[in-house]
Chain A
Amino acid sequence: MNAAFRIPGAGRLRQATASFSFDDKSYVGIDGDTLASALLANGVHLVGRSFKYHRPRGFLSAGAEEPNALVQIVRDDARKTPNVRATVQELYDGLTAHSQNRWPSLAFDVGAVNDIASPLFSAGFYYKTFMWPKSAWKNLYEPKIRAAAGLGVSPDRPDPDHYAARYAHCEVLVLGGGAAGIAAALAAAETGVRVILADEQAEFGGSLRFESGAKIEGEDGFAWAQGAIAKLKAMDNVHVLPRTTAFGYYAQNFVGLVERVSDHLKSPGRELARERLWQVRARRVVLATGAIERHMVFADNDRPGIMLASAARTYLNHYGVAVGRNVGVYTANDSAYAAAIDLKKAGVNVAAIVDLRDNPTGPVIDEARALGIEINFGRAVIRAGGKLRVSSMTVQPKNGGGERTIPVDAILMSAGWTPSVHLFSQSRGKVAFNEETRRFVPGTYAQDCVSVGACNGTDGLAATIDEAYAAGAKAAKDAGGRAGKSAKPKVDASESWSRGMLGAAPGAGPDTTVKAFVDFQNDVTAKDIRQAVHEGMHSIEHVKRFTTNGMATDQGKTSNMHGLAIAAETLGKPIPQVGLTTFRAPYTPVTFGSIVGHARGALFDPTRRTAIHPWAAAQGAVFEDVGQWKRAWYFPKAGEDMHAAVDRECVTVRKVAGLFDASTLGKIEVVGPDAAKFMELLYTNPWEKLEPGRCRYGIMLREDGFIYDDGVVGRLAPDRFHVTTTTGGAPRVMHHMEDYLQTEFPHLNVWLTSITEQWAVIAVQGPKSRDIIAPLVEGIDMSDEALPHMSVREGKICGVPTRLFRMSFTGERGFEVNVPADYGEAVWEALWAEGQKHGTCAYGTETMHVLRAEKGYIIVGQDTDGTVTPNDAGLDWAVGKKKTDFVGIRGMARADLVAKGRKQLVGLKTKDPKVVLEEGAQIVDDPKQAIPMKMIGHVTSSYWSENCGRSIALALVAGGRDRMGQTLYVPMPNGTIEVEVTGMVFVDEKGEHLNG
Chain B
Amino acid sequence: MLLIRCPYCEEERPELEFRNAGEAHIARSTNIAGESDDDFEKFFFIRSNPKGVIYERWRHIHGCARFFNAVRDTVTDKFVMTYKAGEPKPAKLPGASK
Contact = CB atoms under 8 A, between A and B. Distances in A.
Contact, chains A and B (beta carbon distance below 8 A): yes
A742 B67 contact: yes
B72 interface: no
B77 A251 contact: yes
A884 B1 CA distance: 44
Contacts of A251: 1-2, 77-78
Given A254-B1, A703-B44, A743 B67 contact: yes
Given A744-B28, A893-B33, A279 B40 contact: no
Is chain A's binding surface mostly helix, strand, loop or mixed? mixed
A890 B1 contact: no
Given A252-B3, A254-B1, A738-B67, A885 B32 contact: yes
Interface in B3-19: 3, 19
B1 A891 contact: no
A895 B21 CA distance: 27
A184 B44 CA distance: 55
A252 B2 CA distance: 6
A600 interface: no
B37 A895 contact: yes
B33 A890 contact: yes
Query: 6 closest Cβ contacts across the A-B interface?
Result: A890-B32, A742-B67, A889-B33, A744-B28, A252-B3, A743-B67
19 contacts: A250-B1, A251-B2, A254-B1, A738-B67, A739-B21, A742-B67, A742-B85, A743-B57, A743-B85, A744-B28, A884-B33, A885-B30, A885-B33, A889-B33, A890-B40, A893-B33, A894-B37, A894-B40, A895-B37
Given A739-B67, A893-B33, A895-B37, A746 B86 contact: yes
A109 interface: no
Interface string B58-86: 01010001110000000001100000011
A894 B39 CA distance: 12
B57 to A, nearest CB: 7
Contacts of B28: 703, 744
Interface in A698-741: 703-704, 735, 738-739
Interface string A474-496: 00000000000000000000000
A891 B2 contact: no
Interface string A885-925: 10001110111000000000000000000000000000000
A793 interface: no
Contact of B44 (A742, A744, A891): A891
B87 to A, nearest CB: 12
A281 interface: yes
Given A254-B1, A738-B65, A891 B85 contact: no
A746 B85 contact: yes
Interface of A: 250-252, 254, 279, 281, 703-704, 735, 738-739, 742-744, 746, 884-885, 889-891, 893-895
Nearest to A884: B33
B80 to A, nearest CB: 14
A925 B37 CA distance: 34
Nearest to A738: B65
A281 B16 CA distance: 14
Interface of B: 1-3, 19, 21, 28, 30, 32-33, 35, 37, 40, 44, 57, 59, 61, 65-67, 77-78, 85-86
B32 to A, nearest CB: 5
A889 B1 contact: no
A254 B16 CA distance: 13
A889 B35 CA distance: 11
Given A735-B19, A739-B67, A885-B33, 20 more contacts: A250-B1, A252-B3, A254-B1, A279-B1, A703-B28, A735-B61, A738-B67, A742-B67, A743-B57, A743-B67, A743-B85, A743-B86, A746-B85, A884-B33, A889-B32, A890-B32, A890-B33, A894-B37, A894-B40, A895-B37
A505 B93 CA distance: 55
A743 B59 CA distance: 11
B38 to A, nearest CB: 12
Nearest to B44: A703
Contacts of A894: 37, 40
Nearest to A752: B65
A334 to B, nearest CB: 42
A739 to B, nearest CB: 6
Contacts of B65: 738
B3 A281 contact: yes
Contacts of A893: 33
B5 to A, nearest CB: 11
A279 B57 CA distance: 27
Contacts of B86: 743, 746
A250 B86 CA distance: 32
A142 B2 CA distance: 40
Contacts of B61: 735
A442 to B, nearest CB: 19
A446 to B, nearest CB: 9
B3 A704 contact: no
Contacts of B57: 743
A704 B65 CA distance: 25
A891 B39 CA distance: 12
A743 B69 CA distance: 10
Nearest to A252: B3
B53 to A, nearest CB: 18
Contacts of B40: 890-891, 894
Best-buried of B32, B35, B40, B57 by chain A (most CB within 10 Å)? B32
A703 B57 CA distance: 17
Contacts of B19: 735
A1 B40 CA distance: 86
Nearest to A744: B28
A744 B43 CA distance: 13
Nearest to B33: A889
Contacts of A281: 3
Contact of B59 (A254, A735, A889, A891): A735
Nearest to A891: B44
